[in-house]
Amino acid sequence: MKEMEKENEIEIQESPLRPIFCLKRKVDMKPFDEIYDCFILDFDPGEPLHSISNLSLSTDDELSIVAERGQVACRDYPHPRHLCLKYPFEKTPHENYCHLCYCYACDTVAPCLYWTDPKSAHCNATEQIDAWKSERKLRKIESPIHN
């Protein structure tokens, strides 16, 4: 009987039951990380800051973005059209562009002369396609003024 009591006692002492916390905000993470071994994150801790700016477009009454820090290269600086954050290349018409977009093929401010040309349509230019890389190199050789 004493053996059973000891076994039960051991089981009680090593009980895995602990409080489970679900963190909603990244700012809450540090204090919990110092105290607890395990907790649930209800957010992606590696999520880049620019995705927070997308939340500011939300119509949710319970959520408000009041500030944002830092700059994002593909949003705040000139960038080729296919890397534009305002008009994601895979989700929006390629003809769309923001005031910081430039033509990947011509290396000029968007829209270029060939932006919506039926034959070449530079709005579709991307570094992922070898033909566009060749077009870009050829244009740099032909027009050394842009270098």
| DSSP letters spanning 114-142 | TTT-TTT-GGG--TTSHHHHHHHHHHHHH
Q: What is the pLDDT of residue 120?
A: 92
C-beta separation of 115 from 103 below 8 A = yes
Q: Is residue 51 part of a domain?
A: no
Q: What percentage of the chain carries pLDDT values higher than 90?
A: 36
Q: Is residue 36 part of a domain?
A: yes
Provide the H-helix boundaries in 1-147. 2-13, 29-35, 50-55, 73-76, 130-142
Query: Which residues span the domain enclosing 26?
Result: 19-43
128 and 84 in a single domain? The answer is yes
Q: What is the pLDDT of residue 87?
A: 92
Q: Is residue 12 part of a domain?
A: no
86 and 130 in a single domain? The answer is yes
How many domains does the chain divide into? 2
Q: Is residue 35 part of a domain?
A: yes
Cis peptide before 93 (omega within 30 of 0): no
Residue type, 31: P
Q: Is residue 61 part of a domain?
A: no
Q: Is residue 65 part of a domain?
A: no
Q: Which residues of the chain have pLDDT under 50?
A: 1, 11-12, 49-50, 146-147
Q: Is residue 115 part of a domain?
A: yes
Residues in the chain: 147
Q: What is the pLDDT of residue 147?
A: 44
28 and 81 in a single domain? The answer is no
Provide the whole-model pTM.
Answer: 0.51
Q: What is the pLDDT of residue 141?
A: 85
36 and 83 in a single domain? The answer is no
Long-range contacts of 113-120 (CB under 8 A, 24+ apart): none
Q: Is residue 88 part of a domain?
A: yes
81 and 132 in a single domain? The answer is yes
